[in-house]
Amino acid sequence: MSVESHLKHRFGLEGQRALVTGGASGIGRAIAIALAAAGADVAITVHKRPGGETLAAIGATGRKSAALSVDLANLDAETAGRLMDDADAAIGPVSILVNNAGIIRRAEFHDHAEADWRAVMSANLDAVWFLSQSAGRRMRERRHGRIVMIASLLSFQGGIRVPAYTAAKHGVAGLTKALANELAPHGVTVNAIAPGYITTENTEALRADPERSRQILERIPAGRWGQPDDIADAAVFLASPAAAYMNGHILAVDGGWLAR
């Protein structure tokens, strides 16, 4: 086997089918397109945006695509099961689940509203659990699958003015390890990516604040904000055969932030 063929086999996703939550924009869109470019058929979840740009980009790779409408902030076990059924029907049995979708609410802890707390925990942790449970059951039966979580630097740190987000992302880190322990014997890997400061809508307020943006950049050894493609490349790796012996790991893609 040539080096090129070996790399395509180890890092390619031919014959795989992926569901990416929150695939209409930002990191989710980049991940969905990258998975398709690597050979996977890809379904995305959408809510307030139709996801047309993502679907067009997936189509340009020659892969099958679908957009599934769901409000992840109001997901329960039954709805998660129906979503997985819809994804399986649209593109075939899902072998890769990327739990990307998430929201953030910023406020001082004493002003953090109960509604904001519940919305963030529901979208960022409850939905991840219900979808991982539903997908994991199916992957376990087939004895193959990849679950990729999108964690955060705040899976390791406390942050400022984002208590619900921090709590949820710590939960995602724990869930990654717990599920890895149970699913590893069945040929299913569960890993997470902890993005650093990435240029998305979630960080728009930080980038618009000259002082805060300066403070952030001064701590990043790479000297720049990350791009969604930086996270997408890591997701392709974790979904590929090359990462078959990685399990329960949280991969920081942060320009060196945590090492500072």
113: pLDDT confidence band, cut at 50, 70 and 90? very high
Residue 183, token pair as written in the block: 């699913």
Q: pTM for the complete prediction?
A: 0.96
Model confidence over 181-201: pLDDT tens digits?
999 999 999 999 999 999 998
**Is the pLDDT assigned to residue 1 strictly greater than 70?**
no
**Cβ–Cβ under 8 Å, residues 35 and 236:** yes
> Which one is catalytic: 129, 130, 156, 165?
165
Helix (H) or strand (E) holding 98: strand 96-99
Kindly state whether residue 259 falls inside one of the protein's structural domains.
Answer: no
Kindly state whether residue 243 falls inside one of the protein's structural domains.
Answer: yes
> 112: number of CA atoms within 13 Å, CB side?
20
Kindly state whether residue 260 falls inside one of the protein's structural domains.
Answer: no
Kindly state whether residue 227 falls inside one of the protein's structural domains.
Answer: yes
Q: Residue 97 is part of a domain; what is its CATH number?
A: 3.40.50.720
Kindly state whether residue 187 falls inside one of the protein's structural domains.
Answer: yes
222: pLDDT confidence band, cut at 50, 70 and 90? very high
- At 2 the pLDDT is 72
The total number of structural domains in the chain stands at: 1
Of the listed ranges 101-105, 175-179, 233-237, 249-253, the least confidently predicted one is 101-105
Kindly state whether residue 67 falls inside one of the protein's structural domains.
Answer: yes
Give the separation between CA 152 and CA 255, rounded to whole angstroms.
13
Domain that holds residue 106: 3-253
DSSP string, 154-165: GGTS--SS-HHH
Residue 152, token pair as written in the block: 């955060």
Q: Which string of b and e fits 37-48 if b means at least 16 CB within 10 Å?
A: bbbbbbbbbbbe
Determine how β-strand 250-253 pairs with β-strand 188-195.
Answer: parallel
Kindly state whether residue 194 falls inside one of the protein's structural domains.
Answer: yes
**Cβ–Cβ under 8 Å, residues 154 and 254:** no
Query: Beta-strand (E) ranges in 213-253?
Result: 250-253
- Which ranges in 124-190 belong to alpha helices (H)? 127-142, 163-183
Residues 139-158: what's their mean pLDDT?
98
Model confidence over 44-68: pLDDT tens digits?
999 988 899 999 999 999 999 999 9
- At 133 the pLDDT is 98
Of the listed ranges 71-85, 133-147, 172-186, 204-218, the least confidently predicted one is 204-218
Mean of all residue pLDDT scores within the chain: 95
The pLDDT > 70 percentage for the chain reads 98
202: pLDDT confidence band, cut at 50, 70 and 90? confident
Kindly state whether residue 99 falls inside one of the protein's structural domains.
Answer: yes
Could you confirm whether 197 is annotated as catalytic?
no
**Is the pLDDT assigned to residue 254 strictly greater than 70?**
yes
Of the listed ranges 6-20, 86-100, 234-248, the least confidently predicted one is 6-20
**Is the pLDDT assigned to residue 79 strictly greater than 70?**
yes
**Cβ–Cβ under 8 Å, residues 58 and 38:** no
Task: Give residues with Cβ within 8 angstroms of 222, minimum separation 6.
Answer: 255, 256
